[in-house]
Amino acid sequence: MSDYSVHLLEVVRRLLRALDPVLLLVLLTLMGYALVIMGSASPERLDSQLLHGAIALVTMWVVAAIPPQRLLGMALPLYLLGTVLLVGVDLFGEVSKGARRWLDIGVTRIQPSELMKIAMPMMLAWFFQQREGRIGLREFIVAGLMLVVPVGLILVQPDLGTSVLVAAAGFYVIFFAGLSWKLIVPVALVGIVGIGSIVAFGDTICQPDVDWKVMREYQKHRVCTLLDPTQDPLGKGFHIIQSTIAIGSGGITGKGWQNGTQTHLSFLPERHTDFIFAVLSEEFGLVGTLVLLATYLLLLVRGFHIALVAPTLGTRLLAGAITMIFFTYAFVNMGMVSGILPVVGVPLPFISYGGTALVTLCLGVGILMSIQRSRISKQT
């Protein structure tokens, strides 16, 4: 074997060493499943999705090859950059579909809120690692303030879906850092009472002349539509009604690939993005849904295993939060498509069409791989 071949094999080994085989297998399975569903939901977008997938996989590998402590060292600059860009969006951002979410930087447009989905848990994990052994109430208050600032900036765009994801990502780090249940339970009770009140008095508070004060009008409509989509079946309730019909009509084994009537007769809106789960359920039925859920479960199990055995506090917090982010994406998307949660524009992880979300999620997988690789390196 020539010296060139030996050198090439060594390079390949180094590249593969950064990748966790279980996570890679799960990711490729999900992305392959996505291409199959996209081939029915929106075949004209297959080429773009393949390009997005290639970019996302390269991003994952690059991040996986970076030591986790170096990644955590980038947390503060990323957080500050993301916050400054969010302020820039509020001041100079472009308005699209009634929301100011994009910032034109000359060569392209960027959506800074996507950066915060990863920068936020990284920042808080780094923060708690710096204070390991002396984490108290003051640290939790500071962490809460660091979380509130970007979430508030995203809310005023307005972008409820992304603000929920960023808030959840930050909360998971704070919770895993040891937040007392005495602080969590009262907030949870207030939330339960609030949701119960909305359900109990929905007919009254959903009247057109009732102002919810704390929520925008379109957000009020989303909640009220969730309570009773039949009040406006051809308008605001159309999405939920059509998606639940698609899910229910799939039965056990589904109608078959490219045979979904709700999908191909254009009853199902946003079938390649937010509502792609309805396409999957209609064409592959309960069996296809269970396959997807089993793949997500394997992803979560592997992620939590990496978090449990991670070598430092910061990496444990970051791995746990990223794994919970995957869960939150899947839970919120399936919940809104099934009619049990308001429609907030959260994609189905690794399945929905779109480059930004896919790259962000694969970046998270790359961080998990980096943490796992560092643990193996220390053992050897």
Regarding whether 276 and 163 lie in a shared domain, the answer is no
Regarding whether 148 and 263 lie in a shared domain, the answer is no
Mean residue pLDDT of the chain comes to 83
Look at residue 116 and tell me if it is in a domain.
Answer: yes
Q: What percent of the chain has pLDDT over 90?
A: 32
101 contacts 93 by C-beta, under 8 angstroms: yes
Name the pLDDT band for 60 (thresholds 50, 70, 90): very high
Sign (positive/negative) of CA torsion 201, 206, 208, 214?
positive
Regarding whether 92 and 41 lie in a shared domain, the answer is no
Residue of 24 and 219 predicted with greater confidence: 24
Question: Residue 174: what are its φ and ψ, rounded to 5°?
Answer: -60, -40
- Provide the token pair at 109: 């447009």
d(CA 31, CA 39): 12
Regarding whether 349 and 266 lie in a shared domain, the answer is yes
DSSP string, 293-349: HHHHHHHHHHHHHHHHH-SSHHHHHHHHHHHHHHHHHHHHHHHHHHTSS----PPPT
- Provide the token pair at 215: 């929520």
d(CA 197, CA 191): 10
Find which of 101-110, 161-170, 216-225, 322-331 is predicted with most confidence, using mean pLDDT: 322-331
- pLDDT on residue 40: 85
Look at residue 302 and tell me if it is in a domain.
Answer: yes
Regarding whether 122 and 248 lie in a shared domain, the answer is no
Regarding whether 330 and 233 lie in a shared domain, the answer is yes
pLDDT above 80: residue 219: no
List Cβ<8 Å contacts ≥24 apart for 56-59. 56/355, 56/358, 56/359, 56/361, 56/362, 56/363, 57/27, 57/362, 59/359, 59/362, 59/363, 59/366
Judged by average pLDDT, the poorest of 70-79, 85-94, 140-149, 320-329 is 85-94
Based on the structure, what is the number of domains in the chain?
2
Segment 281-312, tens digit of pLDDT: 898 999 999 999 999 999 999 999 999 988 88
End-to-end CA distance of the chain: 28
Name the pLDDT band for 121 (thresholds 50, 70, 90): very high
d(CA 361, CA 56): 8
DSSP class of residue 231 equals G
Regarding whether 279 and 139 lie in a shared domain, the answer is no
How many residues are listed for the chain in this entry? Answer: 380
- Domain end: 175, 190, 215, which one? 175
Q: Per-residue pLDDT averaged across 64-81, rounded?
A: 90
Sign (positive/negative) of CA torsion 183, 189, 195, 198?
negative
- pLDDT on residue 302: 95
Name the pLDDT band for 275 (thresholds 50, 70, 90): confident
Sheet with 94-96, edge to edge strand ranges: 94-96, 99-104, 109-110
Regarding whether 33 and 134 lie in a shared domain, the answer is no
Name the pLDDT band for 200 (thresholds 50, 70, 90): low
Instruction: List Cβ neighbours of 123 (8 Å cut-off, separation of 6 or more).
Output: 75, 76, 78, 79, 146
Regarding whether 380 and 244 lie in a shared domain, the answer is yes
Regarding whether 167 and 82 lie in a shared domain, the answer is yes
d(CA 352, CA 360): 13
Q: Per-residue pLDDT averaged across 260-274, rounded?
A: 78
- pLDDT on residue 184: 78
The amino acid sitting at 346 is: V
d(CA 180, CA 134): 15
- pLDDT on residue 234: 62
DSSP class of residue 43 equals G
Q: Per-residue pLDDT averaged across 69-80, rounded?
A: 91
Regarding whether 239 and 105 lie in a shared domain, the answer is no
Structural domain boundaries, residue 50: 22-62+229-380
How far out from the chain centre does Cα 105 lie?
A: 25
pLDDT above 80: residue 73: yes
Segment 332-369, tens digit of pLDDT: 999 888 888 877 778 899 998 877 888 889 999 999 99
d(CA 339, CA 345): 13
Judged by average pLDDT, the poorest of 29-38, 147-156, 183-192, 194-203 is 194-203
